Copies of this chain bind each other. A is one copy, B any other.
């Protein structure tokens, strides 16, 4: 919309540069900032600035951290010999949310993608290898999306990790809990039959 104000338009432009925010939403957000006390907007800006300026990445697992080591890597309550390999920080957060994993993480920072020109050398694999022995990792679970590129990455890593005598698994794939069979894609459904599990009562 025509605001006739450079300050207004600059703020709208800054907001539309964010994913999922169009010009209409951006305009609404700017008007929101103008309707609230000035301090709120200043405080908002400060939080974003502190985030990008002060956030650190864990020296060990490459996840986000407020210090040199993240809270997971520095916790005595976590099994430091059980490693979960993920693509991104977002995946760490999704798994933490489930409360089902008690080990530690390693964030690859991407997956192998020949189309995007991303090879193993662009991922945090050197630090992974160094860590496997140094930290006495006994088990590795790869929580990587079951896409073509994900499978390639899983295969590549397994060729490195298995020879070290470390137990390697991937997260299970199959029909979602609560998912209906008729809406499940063929590949998932087909594999879920091949990877069928013995039925256990009371589990």
- Using CB atoms and an 8 Å cutoff, list the residues of chain A in contact with chain B: 1-8, 10-11, 13-14, 17-20, 25, 27-34, 38, 40-55, 63-66, 70-72, 88-90, 93-94, 96-97
| From B7, B30, B41, contact of A66 by CB (8 A) | B7
Contact: B64 with A11, CB < 8 Å? Answer: no
A28 partner residues in chain B, CB cutoff 8 A? 19-20
- CB nearest neighbor in B for A11: B51
What's the nearest-Cβ distance from chain B to residue A61, in Å?
11
Contact: B64 with A8, CB < 8 Å? Answer: yes
- CB nearest neighbor in B for A48: B45
Secondary structure dominating the interface of A? helix
A41 partner residues in chain B, CB cutoff 8 A? 48-49, 51-53
A90 partner residues in chain B, CB cutoff 8 A? 1, 27, 31
A5 partner residues in chain B, CB cutoff 8 A? 55, 64-66, 70-71
Given A45-B45, A72-B4, the answer on whether A27 and B89 have CB atoms closer than 8 Å is: no
A48 partner residues in chain B, CB cutoff 8 A? 11, 14, 33, 41, 44-45, 48
Contact: B96 with A1, CB < 8 Å? Answer: yes
Contact: B29 with A19, CB < 8 Å? Answer: yes
Complex CA–CA separation, A55 to B94 (angstroms):
40
Contact: B33 with A51, CB < 8 Å? Answer: yes
Complex CA–CA separation, A25 to B25 (angstroms):
13
Complex CA–CA separation, A96 to B8 (angstroms):
15
Given A4-B70, A50-B10, the answer on whether A17 and B31 have CB atoms closer than 8 Å is: no
A34 partner residues in chain B, CB cutoff 8 A? 51-52, 55, 64, 89
What's the nearest-Cβ distance from chain B to residue A27, in Å?
7
Contact: B71 with A4, CB < 8 Å? Answer: yes
Closest 9 CB pairs of A and B: A41-B52, A1-B93, A4-B71, A2-B96, A14-B47, A45-B49, A11-B51, A45-B45, A45-B48
